[in-house]
Amino acid sequence: MSFLSTLNSSEKIARTKYSSESNYRSPLSTRYASEDMLYNWSDLKKFSTWRKLWIILAKNELALGQPITQEQIQEMVENIYNIDFTMAAEEERIVRHDVMAHVHTFAKACPKAAPIIHLGATSCFVGDNTDLIILRDGFEIILPKLARCVDRLSKFALANKDLAVLGFTHLQPAQLTTMGKRATLWIQDLLLDERNISRARSDLRFRGVKGTTGTQASFLTLFAGDHEKVKELDKLVTKDSGFEKSYGVTGQTYSRRVDVDVLNALAGLGASCHKICTDIRLLANFKELEEPFEKSQIGSSAMAYKRNPMRSERVCSLSRHLTTLTTNAYATASTQWLERTLDDSANRRITLSEAFLTADAILQTLQNIFEGLVPYPSIIRRRIEYELPFMATENIIMSMVQKGGDRQECHEQIRVLSHQAAKSVKEEGKDNDLVDRIRKTEYFSPIWSELDHLLDPKSFVGRAPEQVVEFITEEVEPILVKYKGQLDGEVELKI
């Protein structure tokens, strides 16, 4: 027996003592996601929505002439949240059918309404329609949080629109930009996500009342062959459930292709956030930008000096998970046979909820990061001074030509001095002294007095500051107007 086995000897007693606390719980629910999103995917939300749909169905069947009483409907209304979860679980264990288990449970709480609960409906009436309501409500939690991230990052961009920084292409030094302009690149991606998620939200329709294989046969029988009443029932139930339209045709379920669009919109957000937080992590390594770091926060259990960008790392980690979930949606949509198969059910229970919980956790963390980003201008300036002399050589050549110099001769002089300075930097680890070499070379004496101006970082950023203002005014503000009254509130992370 191993020593570990010996240590495990009291495990059974501990598991009994701690009961459910010792069992696995998703980190999304225990560590990351918000209470609003957790409730949106909770059993209480799900099963109370089933009951609301049964009420809406009965209400409109009554309006269209079915022998249902207002007393029966009122009894159901009074018991929406009176859910005996223990009974429902036992019923499901017996009948192996979650919807019928809850029909029986609801019927026990509503004996007068029992005969008309689920009248004419199939399981997907409550199952799929509830899923669509939860997806819609999930988007409505996500979108204001995304808008708050855009709002916070826009404020950061405006505050740093003039802060010149070294730009990078291929992660190699390139022309200068500004901290604010770089932030607008991040914002632009988030605006694309706002567009795509808003579109996915708007594109959602209701399944409505379609029957077992989507033909509405049961409802046609219920209304004695009256097609118009069946069509009207579909419209009334859809409207009462908060949707403008239902899908024109369905099988037993709404098309699982819809889930692909939902997951793609969220996965795009994951890609954007991963890119943004990767940039922040790189800049943290350069010591140019840091995410919030609390006074008592520990960066490393061994290296006490470390200030790891753990929030950005968390966003990257969760974003990778979010982007992979689209694979499930594609696989499920492509393998539904004919009017439907049940091999979608277990997968969707996991994939859809995790996608929204993950997106929610990402945005919570991202807002917290954006509310506490700290740039370090001194470090930024030092990095610029290290690279700028090489970038300024063209300006120096042009200035010499304006003073009467020969362009080709000036180019050769600069080339020789640049190579000398580069060798000093690379082989001897010294600072870039190209400017000092120029100041000591008599050939360049006509422009010595202009060197400081020629090396001013502000002259290398082009229209970056103006672009920031124009972008925020023209692109960001019109979007944020949609979320007026929803942008307040800071995020305090649980961990």
pLDDT at residue 305 tops 60: no
| Domains defined along the chain, listed by start | 40-121 (1.10.275.10), 124-207+250-294+301-375 (1.20.200.10), 393-454 (1.10.40)
300, 306 contact by CB (below 8 A): yes
Query: Which single residue is written with the structure tokens 């023209």?
Result: 474
* Widest CA span in the chain: 105
pLDDT confidence of residue 418: 85
Tens digits of residue pLDDT in 90-125: 999 999 999 999 999 999 999 999 999 999 999 999
Provide, rounded to the nearest whole percent, the portion of the chain with pLDDT above 90: 71
255-261 average pLDDT score? 95
pLDDT confidence of residue 63: 96
Tens digits of residue pLDDT in 337-373: 999 898 888 899 999 999 999 999 999 999 999 999 9
- Cβ contacts of 284 within 8 Å, gap of 6 or more: 290, 291, 307, 309, 312
87, 108 contact by CB (below 8 A): yes
421, 434 contact by CB (below 8 A): yes
The burial class, CB within 10 Å (0-12 / 13-18 / 19+), for 81 is exposed
Catalytic residues: 170, 300
Tens digits of residue pLDDT in 393-410: 878 888 889 988 888 989
* Average pLDDT over the chain, rounded to an integer: 90
Confidence band for 19, pLDDT divided at 50, 70 and 90: low
The one-letter amino acid code at 262 reads V
pLDDT confidence of residue 301: 44
